[in-house]
Amino acid sequence: MTTATIATLPRSIYIEPTSRCNELCQQCPRTLLSREDDRDLSFDNFRFIVDQFPVLERVVLHGLGEPLLNKELPRMIRYLKARGTYVLFNSNGILLNAKRGQELIDAGLDEYRLSMDGATRETYAQVRGVDAFDKIWRNVRAFIAMQQEQQVGARFIAPKPAVSLWFTAMKENLHELPGLIDLAYEHGIREIHLQRLVYFEQGLAHSKQALFRRSTREELELVHQCEEICKQRGIVFSAAGSATPLESLVRDFGDRPWSGCQRPYTLTYITSSGNVLSCCFAPFGHKSAREYQEERVLGNVFQEPLEAIWRGERYEAFRRDFESDHPAKQCSQCGINWSY
């Protein structure tokens, strides 16, 4: 990768609208690790950030926290849509009531990715730390019905936002994936994503839970069956990168496995406090607040222009390490402990 590539600012970014959350997921760094202060990004600060990017093709509006908790979210989406940006985020769905749902549709959101880590109330509560399974599915059913009602005239065009289901696959919950496919299908969801577990030996984010290169024959067979069921039902079943879900669990990334990743040159991640990180894996696995600040944070947009950070010494040092045999800690595990 040459510096010419870095000459342009990224066209794809993550922005965290809030670091607050209404769940306590047992695999999430927000629950398990030291974290930034709880705060919402104001609309003015959001605009201050996105206006620094001359071109924005894609914005993911989540970080660590539940995006729907920020009341300015629809306004942020609308602002980006007026620029022609593709906008999406993951969400736990607890606050996806009729009012919020309508606001998302009206704002022109492109994708709503529902995080759902179980097919039963019990497993859901065990993994996500709150007893909200039934409520979320009621919300999703009503949201999709509302969409269908309103967009019926345009039935040859895919409804917007596209709703997909994001399942963080672990030993703990994999057995519920077939049930989840049934649930998704019944509720009108036609895309399921098998999300790789990023782990750091705490809570459920533990190597004991990992399936990447650690799946048993039975687990791989189950994933294969899920691929077949999805095919029969017309559900898109995807995984990280271009791999099929099954491939994503057994894939060999070869020598220097992280080096196939383009993110250090093409993408950046900005938290609600303005901290700039290299990607959405960067807030995973630090041992202390100090390590986070010193080794993960590459600058702060409220202290320095984004362009100065992107071309600055810390980002450059991160990229130099990335190209060496000793990348940053988070990168050193990509392709070894999980697919990316």
Ligand X SMILES: C[S@@+](CC[C@H](N)C(=O)[O-])C[C@H]1O[C@@H](n2cnc3c(N)ncnc32)[C@H](O)[C@@H]1O
Q: Which residues of this chain interact with ligand SF4, rule CB under 6 A?
A: 21, 23-25, 28, 30-31, 64-66, 92, 128, 258, 261, 263-264, 278-279, 281, 330-331, 334, 340
For residue 280, the minimal CB distance to ligand SF4 (Å) is: 7
Q: Which of 12, 18, 45, 115 touches ligand X by CB under 6 A?
A: 115
- Residue 66 touching ligand X (CB under 6 A): yes
The rounded distance, in Å, linking the Cα atoms of 86 and 59 is 6
Q: How far is CA 56 from CA 18, 79, 255, 320, in A?
A: 20, 12, 33, 25
Pick what 31 binds: ligand X, ligand SF4, none; C-beta below 5 to 8 Å, kind-dependent: ligand SF4
The rounded distance, in Å, linking the Cα atoms of 338 and 315 is 24
Nearer to ligand X, 22 or 52 (CB): 22
Measured in degrees and rounded to the nearest 5, phi and psi for residue 45 equal -70, -35
Helices and strands (DSSP H and E) totals, the chain: 15, 10
For residue 135, the minimal CB distance to ligand SF4 (Å) is: 14
Nearer to ligand SF4, 112 or 227 (CB): 112
Near ligand X in 147-206, by CB under 6 A: 166, 168, 195, 197-198, 205
Cβ(215)–Cβ(209) under 8 Å? no
For residue 150, the minimal CB distance to ligand SF4 (Å) is: 27
Nearer to ligand SF4, 26 or 147 (CB): 26
Which range binds ligand X by CB under 6 A, 50-58, 85-93, 239-247, 319-327?
85-93
For residue 236, the minimal CB distance to ligand X (Å) is: 17
- Residue 272 touching ligand X (CB under 6 A): no
Tell me the HSE value of 243 on the side-chain side, using a 13 A CA sphere: 20
Which range binds ligand X by CB under 6 A, 36-44, 61-69, 180-188, 222-230?
61-69
The rounded distance, in Å, linking the Cα atoms of 26 and 294 is 25
Cβ(205)–Cβ(33) under 8 Å? no
Concatenated DSSP letters of 36-70? PPP-BPPHHHHHHHHTT-S--SEEE--SSS-GGG-
Strands, E, within the chain: which ranges? 12-15, 58-60, 86-91, 111-115, 162-168, 191-195, 236-239, 267-270, 275-277, 299-300
- Residue 28 touching ligand X (CB under 6 A): yes
The rounded distance, in Å, linking the Cα atoms of 318 and 278 is 8
Tell me the HSE value of 227 on the side-chain side, using a 13 A CA sphere: 14
The rounded distance, in Å, linking the Cα atoms of 212 and 338 is 6
For residue 248, the minimal CB distance to ligand X (Å) is: 13
Nearer to ligand SF4, 30 or 227 (CB): 30
Nearer to ligand SF4, 65 or 118 (CB): 65
Pick what 166 binds: ligand X, ligand SF4, none; C-beta below 5 to 8 Å, kind-dependent: ligand X
- Residue 209 touching ligand X (CB under 6 A): no
Pick what 195 binds: ligand SF4, ligand X, none; C-beta below 5 to 8 Å, kind-dependent: ligand X
| Binding residues for ligand X (CB under 6 A) | 25, 27-28, 62, 64, 66, 90-92, 115, 166, 168, 195, 197-198, 205
